[in-house]
Amino acid sequence: MITNRNTLRLAALFAALASSRSRAVRAQSAPSTAVTQTDEPAARELFNRGVAALGEARFAEAAGLFEESYRRNPAPVALFNLAFAYRGLGRYLDAAACVRRFLDNPGSTPADRVEAARVELGALERSIARVSLTVRPTTAVVRVDGRPARVIEGSIELDPGRRVIELSLDGFRSERRELQLTAGARETLSIELSLIDDAARLRVEPSVASARVTIDGAFVGAGLVERRATMGVHRVTVSAEGYVPLERTVRVGGTGVVRVDAVLQRPRSNYWLWLGPTIGVVAATGLSVGGYFLWRELRPTAEPPLPPDRWGDPVF
């Protein structure tokens, strides 16, 4: 936390401005804001108490009073004084945001006070720490002090002090870095997450030992294949000479094993197209016995039963 006499003096000037502004508002026939007349006196009382707390460096109390005052009557000067309270608490990001909002709508604030606010904003922006962050995988979630962080063009703006940066992603080990940042610090951080040992795996078990296995169009091996897989949907194709190719779509989660039981089938033949003429020839020549044995030889082969120890359909 920072106590600055010039800062408090500037805040006092704005407080005096607020007092004179309040008298001018009461002299008008209509209020200058959309709030009710009942809220304005309460907001002014809260504001004055906030100024007193700010003058005694009771920044947390002052921030609460200015926040409530601004909620009851959104006067620009209350917003500006709130920035000083935030600065005293070391909350430079919040303080700069308040000053920007003040400058967007300063109301009837004199030009010299507006210029002073611009100078204060420059000082605040120079005090903000910045961390250039390189993360792999780029889809990792970034948190600072337990809250989601805004990463803009690979950089994070942070308040000075002790900061904990955490990165996480399903299937990867989380990483944690602790930084002690001074006002205006510039740091560079590069973090690469590593796959955890029990990351999601995809296991393909063909019924034909020589079957070729492709995953997402890429050949990965023959026969039984087990490999790590990223979370999401994958296309599995199993093929072998003399068998009908098998295709499956499977969904892989963050952990665990997804098993694909690939039972390949022989192509079906339409024996009856040529079996009828054969029977006719056999009948014409009287070789019924030979026809019988020929039929036994050429009859369709029954589908092989599924092995009893197969896993079955993929686990979704």
Residues 6+ apart with CB under 8 A from 127: 92, 160, 183, 184
Residues 136 and 96 both lie in one domain: no
78 is written with which tokens? 């209350």
pLDDT string in tens for the chain (316-residue length) = 444 555 555 555 444 444 434 333 332 222 333 333 448 899 999 999 999 999 999 999 999 999 999 999 999 999 999 999 999 999 999 999 999 999 999 988 899 999 999 999 999 999 999 999 999 999 899 999 999 999 999 999 999 999 999 999 987 889 999 999 999 999 999 999 987 766 678 899 999 999 999 999 999 899 998 888 888 899 999 999 999 999 999 988 767 788 899 999 999 865 444 445 544 544 444 444 454 454 455 555 544 444 444 334 444 3
Of 99, 126, 153, the one marking the end of a domain is 126
Give residue 112's pLDDT: 92
Q: What residue spans of the chain are helical by DSSP H? A: 5-27, 39-55, 59-72, 76-88, 92-104, 111-127, 272-285, 288-298
Q: What is the CATH number of the domain that holds 160?
A: 2.60.40.1120
32 with 53, same domain?
A: yes
The pTM assigned to this predicted structure is: 0.55
Q: Which are the contacts of 98, defined by CB distance < 8 A and separation ≥ 6?
A: 79, 80, 82, 83, 86
Angle between helices 59-72 and 39-55 (to 10 degrees): 160
Does some domain include residue 313?
A: no
- Into how many domains does the chain fold? 3
Residues 171 and 221 in one domain: no
pLDDT given at position 296: 54
Burial class (CB in 10 A: 0-12, 13-18, 19+), 203: middle
- Note whether residue 172 is domain-resident: yes
User: Looking at the structure, do residues 53 and 108 belong to the same domain, yes or no?
Assistant: yes
Residue 310's pLDDT is what?
38
* Whether the Cβ atoms of residue 191 and residue 134 lie closer than 8 Å to each other: yes
Residue 213 lies in a domain: yes
Count the Cβ atoms, other than its own, within 10 Å of residue 57: 14
pLDDT value, residue 199? 66
In-domain check, residue 282: no
Q: How much helix, strand and coil, in percent to the nearest 5, is found in the chain?
A: 40, 30, 35
Domain CATH for 114: 1.25.40.10
Whether residue 144 sits in one domain with residue 89: no
Helix (H, G, I), strand (E, B) or coil at 39: helix
Q: Judging by DSSP bridges, how do beta strands 257-262 and 201-206 pair with one another?
A: parallel
Q: Are 54 and 9 in contact (CB under 8 A)?
A: no
pLDDT recorded at residue 298: 53
Final residue before a domain boundary, out of 74, 101, 126 = 126
Q: Are residues 214 and 185 in the same domain?
A: no
Give the model's pLDDT for residue 270: 53
| Whether 102 and 9 share a structural domain | yes
> 117 and 139 share a domain?
no
**The last residue of a domain, from among 221, 238, 262:** 262
Residue 47, burial from CB neighbour count under 10 angstroms (0-12, 13-18, 19+): buried
Domain that holds residue 180: 129-192
Q: Are residues 165 and 228 in the same domain?
A: no
Per the domain annotation, does 288 fall within a domain? Answer: no
**How many residues does the structure list for the chain?**
316
38 and 118 inside one domain: yes
Do 21 and 122 lie in one domain? The reply is yes
